[in-house]
Structure 1
Amino acid sequence: MKNEWKKCRRILCIRPDNIGDLLMSTPAIRALKQTFNCHITVLVSSLGAAAVPEIPEIDEAIIFDVPWVQTTGTPDPAQFYQLVKQLREGRFDAAVIFTVYSQNPMPSIMLAYLAEIPLRLAYCRENPYQLLTHWIPDDEPYTHIRHQVVRDLDLVARVGAVTGEQHLSIRTREILWPVVCEKLLLLGLDPQKPWMILHPEVSEQKRRYPVRDWIAAGRKIRAATSCQILITGKNNTAEAQEIAAGIGSRAFSAAGLFDLPELIVLIKHAPLLLSVNTGTIHIAAAVRTPVLVLYALTNPQHTPWRVTSKVLYFDVPVALQSKNEVVKYVYRSFCAEKLPSATPDNIAKMTQAMLELTAASSGSFEEPHALS
């Protein structure tokens, strides 16, 4: 079965999710590209598409917001006929469907089938019969849970694709650092003095950490350290300004100030990123910046990958908890564990410890517990 894949020169990777999801698939995409020396096209959402130019392993992107993934738009059903036509015209030799264990892969599988892509690889719980040529029965999360990076690498390994470089992939445009510095100085932040990033913006409300607690944590950090706090985001100007004002001196709102390439450079140069579990933590992992994550009790397999990090947890409000039975199963298991809580006190103490460690440039926190 693996020998068929050796002849693949054009592979479609279907990953129609957000930036963080796409970044976690980059080691597996690299494995495909290195093993088969192939052209890689990704089918990606409009949200994830922003990261495509910054991922060197990707040659081309098809942007489409599918209705079976949470995105900003809903396509007209007639657009699917055009998408299938476009995929068919791409003359792909194979398609790889990347999914979180709680997602149903069948709609994406059907796209590849209707596009007449000869080889089709995916995890699937039920028997897909002819819809997949390479079916990997999905036993997550009931027997084990892997980190998303491991899940994706294990998938492509089934067809012989491997890589010795398992870090997340992102391009850092260092030429932008002077521009970023100028913007920081105009805000009043001196990048030559101690500083850190606080990122409160989320793509899903269930992962939002309360503003009052951000402010409480920020005040405690300010009292315990000499660190300047930069509050970032894209579409959360009011929230960022409220947090900055609540923290007081040495806190600066930069919401909407940086585009994605600038944000990547900013995160690379930051001594520490304090963030909710969203795309920023995966950017930090890719550029090797230490991360403290405030992690909503959702999918446990999306912690920062192979970077100095610590994780503090908080619960999801009942009204916002997922109705997905797979997610609910994991949530019940998650809640049964004694996990470190994302209280303002714990955030401030952990931030201070990580900043001191970064300043000392010696030792390191252990990597996140490997999910297996």
Structure 2
Amino acid sequence: MTPALASRLMPLARLMDPERAHGWSLRALAAGLAGRDRGAEDPILATEALGLRFRNPIGLAAGFDKNGAAILPLMRLGFGLVEAGTATPRPQEGNPRPRLFRLSEDRAVINRMGMNNRGLDAFAARLAALPRPLPAVLGANVGINKEGAVPERDYPALYAAVAETADYVTFNVSSPNTPGLRDLQGEAQLAAILAATAATAATRATLKRQPPLLVKIAPDLAEDALPALIETCVAAGVAGLIVSNTTISRPDTLRSRHAPETGGLSGPPLFALSTAVLARTFRLAQGRLVLIGAGGVGSPEQAYAKIRAGAALVQLYAALAYEGPALVPRLKRGLAELLRRDGFRSVAEAVGVDAREGVAA
């Protein structure tokens, strides 16, 4: 089966309950039923960031494959990076159902999943079992349990557990669906977590690899909180930020009857907010952090806008759920055309050009 054919079957999935449809999609992917992108990679899309080489800058955000069940099939769809997770130290069921809602009129999603996953041991084992070399860059997204968490203990242990198998590691401190998690974005708490992680990595003789560490932030941060967060990350040696997680805000433009549901909103209604935060982060970071732009990407133009706002790499999620695997090659073709149209010879040349000029503010 090709990605285009798999995408034509997406309307059938949308007849199901959203969470059941998502589970079906993952099983189909794991079974190889979504096919693969067999097109040649356009050289203009190849890029380097985080000390890693990416065949293209289009990535899958964490949350789609929480347990790492379909990493290789997802990579075969043509992504340049796939981020699995969020994995927590212990398995957890997450929040009561229903907890995932399609806002079809808005092409958006609201979720209050609560980081349901099978736990770190199962997650790390899946990553370790993947055949190498992988066709794309692998990210591991990790976070703390809802109950019994000690952030300064748990995040370093999570990092150490996936350091040998992931190309980069992301600390999720911004999901709106775990009580108190977003408080960890505060300067003092984040600094303590990062210091504990650095100390653990330095003292573990068995930790042969120390992959780049990223922090995923919320788009709802208070304006005066962002500079301190950036400086905290730079001082701690963090390699980059993912901007951003889902939002708890609700734009007035939402039309779906599910708009009042609590949880994190993703998809097109998040695009403007997340891109504005991305551009501001780029200006504040002044080249000291690699930025990954996430939130509302579903077209080549939106991926390009994220890059021009400061993103070295781009991630998507909700659009894949609506459009299926054919979206990925379409994004790559369109992005390459836009870069050439504007005279860029590479993705890197376009990074931040609008943010520097204030266009994306």
Question: Shorter-chain TM-score category?
Answer: under 0.3
Indicate the structure whose relative CO is greater, using CA pairs within 8 Å and at least 6 residues apart: 2
The TM-score normalised by the length of structure 1 is: 0.26
Larger Rg: 1
Normalized against structure 2, the TM-score is what? Answer: 0.27
